[in-house]
Amino acid sequence: MLNIYIIYRAMFDAKGNMHTIGGIENYLLNLCAIFNSQGWHCHIVQPAKKAFSLTQHNFTLHGVTTGLYRGNLKKYALANWVRKQIDCENSNQNRNNSIVIFATDSYSVKMVNYNSLAIQHGVSWDKPTNSTQSLSQYFFSSIKQYKYLSYIKADSRLVCVDHNFVNWYRTWFNTAGQDIKVIYNFYDNKISEAEFAEKWSDTKSITNIIIARRFVDYRGIKLIAPIIKQLLPKYNIQVSFAGDGPLKPYLTEMFSQQPQVKLIEYGVDDSFNVHKSQHIAIIPTLGSEGTSLSMIEAMAAGCLVISSNVGGLSNIIIDGCNGRLLMPSSQQFSQALTASLNNPEQSKAMAYNGLKSIEHSCSKENWTRQWLDTIKTLSETSL
């Protein structure tokens, strides 16, 4: 039986309750579920003030004290703990029954003679800078890139969620000797043909628009909110800002007199049903984006996606075919949204193309198969 150790920052408390839930955490829980379905024993290893172990539904949770290590350096204490566990389980030094997964590449550690891989969730250091000086921009960009390059070891195995990172990485290094695989993010549910037809049947009635983003600046909230406000008097639209974050007061104040705009929140399991009632999903992100789960869920729910061309988003959308792909500028988003509202039949056609384009490539079944193949291949690799 395989033992799989997933090393990550603390996402549970000592009682096993999640105190952090986001894209990466949801990704890890789904990994544990598919590994458990194969009879493989999963362990999530995280920092803790006091050591503990708890048996959960699909994995065993281990809280490990990290001593004097602080911040990102805690990963070394976690890796050492995992090494000891693997060596105890494999007294004959046959470590092929154990695999180490670093939940993010920034939390990876070099582990010689252990089967390990890291997950790369997309370029996160491409957020816009406020500097107008080209020399300053170059300097700080170089520092950030060097920092993230230092996380990736020359012989490390990587599973990436998009090709954007891979293209960036190979401008720095020869990747011929590295094991790098791209596995797109996935959707859980998909709208049926009949449901899609019904959803788009009355294109002259109200158009539902959703912006499902964390309310922070780099997710493009301040880019899209003024555009929405300008279009409200001109079109029969209902707009939902779905999420939370420090810009919530900004949105609340801007739309306090606009009943057509709602600020909502929903759980991870409710995303598909929420998007099923929407016609247009806007992703105006300015940086730090992989193959967005939010985008894929919107397409699977039959929405027309209007997105910036940031990170891995351009791996999914072909502009004018299965969505609209734009520079993250107010002018382009205003023009694209206006054109989409003025031509509902064209919007419907692109939404349908979007649904069909991810039907296989981003399905949960395909994601599962690729991950299981990756783990099986890794377990057969001689150390």
Rounded to whole angstroms, how far apart are CA atoms 21 and 12?
10
Write the CB contacts of 207 (distance below 8 Å, at least 6 apart in sequence). 235, 236, 237, 238, 279, 280, 341, 344
Angle, alpha carbons 374-376-72 (nearest 5°): 55
Q: State the alpha helices, DSSP H only, in the chain.
A: 23-37, 74-89, 134-151, 163-169, 193-199, 221-231, 248-254, 271-276, 293-300, 330-342, 344-358, 364-379
Q: Nearest 5 degrees, angle CA 255-CA 259-CA 264?
A: 75
| Predicted local confidence at residue 154, as pLDDT | 64
What pTM does this model have? 0.92
Q: Cα dist. 379→30, 64, 139, 172, 382 in Å?
A: 20, 25, 42, 29, 8
Residue 383 pLDDT: 63
For residue 336, which of 309, 303, 306 has the smallest C-alpha distance?
306
Alpha-carbon gap, residue 63 to 75, rounded angstroms = 12
For 142-155, letters b (16+ CB in 10 Å) and e give eeebeebeebbbee
Question: What pLDDT score does 1 carry?
Answer: 82
* Alpha-carbon span 194 to 321, nearest angstrom: 21
- pLDDT of 19: 80
Among candidates 301, 267, 261, 304, which has minimal Cα distance to 283? 304
Give me the average pLDDT of each 10-residue run along the chain (383 residues): 94 86 89 96 96 94 94 94 89 77 93 92 84 75 81 82 93 86 96 96 87 95 98 97 96 97 91 95 95 94 98 96 97 98 97 97 97 94 68
Residues whose CB is less than 8 angstroms from the CB of residue 301 and which lie 6 or more positions away in sequence, other chains included: 189, 190, 191, 272, 275, 276, 278
Sorted by where each starts, the structural domains of the chain and their CATH numbers stand as 3-121+152-186+364-379 (3.40.50.2000), 193-358 (3.40.50.2000)
The pLDDT of residue 74: 95
CB neighbour class for 266 (10 Å; exposed up to 12, middle 13-18, buried from 19): middle
Whole-number pLDDT of residue 382: 63
Per-residue model confidence (pLDDT) at position 375: 96
What integer pLDDT is reported at residue 128 of this predicted model? 79
